[in-house]
Amino acid sequence: MAQDVKTLTQDNLTNEVGLVLGTRPGTIMFAPIIHELRRRGLPHFILHTGQHYSPNMDAAFFTDLALPQPDHRLTGVAEKRTHGGQTAAMLEGIETILLERRPRVVLVGGDANTNLAGALAARKLQLLVGHVEAGERSYDWRMPEEHNRVMIDHISDVLFTTAAHGASRLQHEAVMGEIRVSGNPIVDASVQHLELAKARSNALRRLDVVPQQYVLMTSHREENVDDPASLEGAVRGAAAVAAEQHLPVLFLAHPRTLKRLADFGLETLARDMPGLRLEEAVGYLDFLNLLGHARLCLTDSGGVQQEACIQQVPCVTLRDNTEWTATVDIGANRLAGSDPRRIARAAAEALAAPRNWDVPFGDGRAAHHIVDHVERHLDGHACSAEGGTA
């Protein structure tokens, strides 16, 4: 390849799929897609951006989801502390690898900086970009994820949405790419691993909780945990739930949240709060198992809102809005922000309400639909590129 090459042309590409991942939810979302590509023998490679790197945010998921090690792993990303620095380091690193590998298709999934960097690097090289979990919106412009989603959707060639609402939203926004309603592979992963999680995980015993007698909590969103008042509100809200419902709250904290609790001098408060148990984040099978046996879930996570809904566990979302509005519409989820009284009230309502909703998240075959589409695209090129690289 010439040193000064700035973009790639179709006759220059290999018939491979490049998968860009690097965060906890991204690894989970791509696991069913990777397994489906492997099952069909379609050539692909995994490019890990290094955005998440702690063993309980990264390696644990490769083990639990039986994934091969990434083919490429960027270095120097974890040290970056700003959105610009982190995204720029990943953009440059991804571009270098894509220039070397020249895949015909690049897939990114979700709304993290990893995905923006992956989509942008591929777009600039004129590679086909597929965005998995396209079309979701919170309309909360404070969220870095919202900027990322809007940008990724508008530079992608194929937009794989989780449901029809995402497709109509993207049509309304007049995106350039092709829209496909495929479902969400996070749902595939959850459905596929639930029984395994229950069989293999000993997390309840290890963390000393009893089925149906605890509340599970996660929180990591920038707009929540980087704001001392919101973080303290969530901690006090969780303690209020524990006191009023006579249920311990097991708070599995993301490393960002643990750092912020320490930075803001809130760690002692969180550790000493009666009824609240602060623990480090756990691996995927342990988490699915803990969620499945919880009476209630408190979270600001996108993935966890969906998983709670799938497992018929009522959810209180520690935000004022959500992309996953269907979970609220069917009564599986309640928005409570970070006000302790509101959190306690929403928890009481959630616990009193029936939990027999119909799960609104597709058929659990999203990876199959996505890989079908990718395979058709690769086949088209393999046929047309006589003597090509297929």
Tokens of 133: 């979990």
Concatenated DSSP letters for 300-352? --HHHHHHHHHTT--EEESSS--S-HHHHHTTSEEE-TT-HHHHHHHHHHHHH
144 binds ligand UD1 (CB under 6 A): yes
25 binds ligand UDP (CB under 6 A): yes
Q: How far is the CB of 186 from ligand UDP (least distance, A)?
A: 6
24 binds ligand UD1 (CB under 6 A): yes
108 binds ligand UDP (CB under 6 A): no
Of residues 15 and 115, the one with the C-beta less far from ligand UDP: 115
281 binds, among ligand UDP, ligand UD1, none (CB under 5 to 8 A by kind): ligand UDP
Rounded Cα gap, residues 378 and 363, in angstroms: 25
145 binds ligand UD1 (CB under 6 A): yes
259 binds, among ligand UDP, ligand UD1, none (CB under 5 to 8 A by kind): ligand UD1
Cβ atoms within 10 A of the Cβ of 14, count? 16
Q: Choose among 251, 231, 239: nearest CA to 297.
A: 251
Q: Choose among 338, 53, 356, 352: nearest CA to 217.
A: 338
Q: How far is the CB of 201 from ligand UDP (least distance, A)?
A: 11
Could you give the 3-state DSSP secondary structure of residue 292? helix
Of residues 105 and 324, the one with the C-beta less far from ligand UDP: 324
Q: Which residues contact 122 (CB under 8 A, 6 or more apart)?
A: 18, 20, 94, 98, 106, 108, 128, 129
Which residues face 130 on adjacent strands?
107, 158
Mask of contacts with ligand UD1, 264-293, x by CB under 6 A? ------------------------------
- Cα-based torsion angle of the residue sequence 201, 234, 316, 59 in order, rounded to the nearest 10 degrees: -30
44, 52, 131, 220: the catalytic one is 220
Q: Choose among 114, 99, 118, 124: nearest CA to 12.
A: 99
183 binds, among ligand UDP, ligand UD1, none (CB under 5 to 8 A by kind): none
Helix (H) or strand (E) holding 154: helix 144-155
52 binds ligand UD1 (CB under 6 A): yes
Quick one: which of 252, 308, 310, 316 contacts ligand UDP (CB under 6 A)?
A: 252
The amino acid at residue 92 is: E
Listed ranges 19-27, 337-345, 370-378, 381-389: which one lies at the site for ligand UD1 (CB under 6 A): 19-27
317 binds, among ligand UDP, ligand UD1, none (CB under 5 to 8 A by kind): none
113 binds ligand UD1 (CB under 6 A): yes
Answer yes or no: 293 catalytic.
Answer: no
28 binds, among ligand UDP, ligand UD1, none (CB under 5 to 8 A by kind): ligand UDP
Length of the chain: 390
Q: Which residues contact 276 (CB under 8 A, 6 or more apart)?
A: 235, 238, 239, 242, 248, 249, 251, 270
Mask of contacts with ligand UDP, 208-227, x by CB under 6 A? ----------x-x-------
8 Å CB contact between 254 and 54? no
Of residues 254 and 369, the one with the C-beta less far from ligand UD1: 254
Quick one: which of 302, 314, 340, 362 contacts ligand UDP (CB under 6 A)?
A: 302
Q: Choose among 286, 354, 275: nearest CA to 314.
A: 354
234 binds ligand UDP (CB under 6 A): no
Quick one: which of 48, 123, 193, 220 contacts ligand UD1 (CB under 6 A)?
A: 220
Tokens of 194: 């639930």
303 binds ligand UDP (CB under 6 A): yes
Letter string b/e over residues 45-65, b meaning 16 or more CB atoms within 10 A of that residue's CB: bbbbbbbbbeebbbebbbebb
- Residues belonging to the active site: 220
List residues binding ligand UDP (CB under 6 A): 24-25, 28, 186, 218, 220, 252, 281-284, 287, 301-304, 307
List residues binding ligand UD1 (CB under 6 A): 23-25, 51-54, 57-58, 86, 111-113, 144-145, 220, 254-256, 259
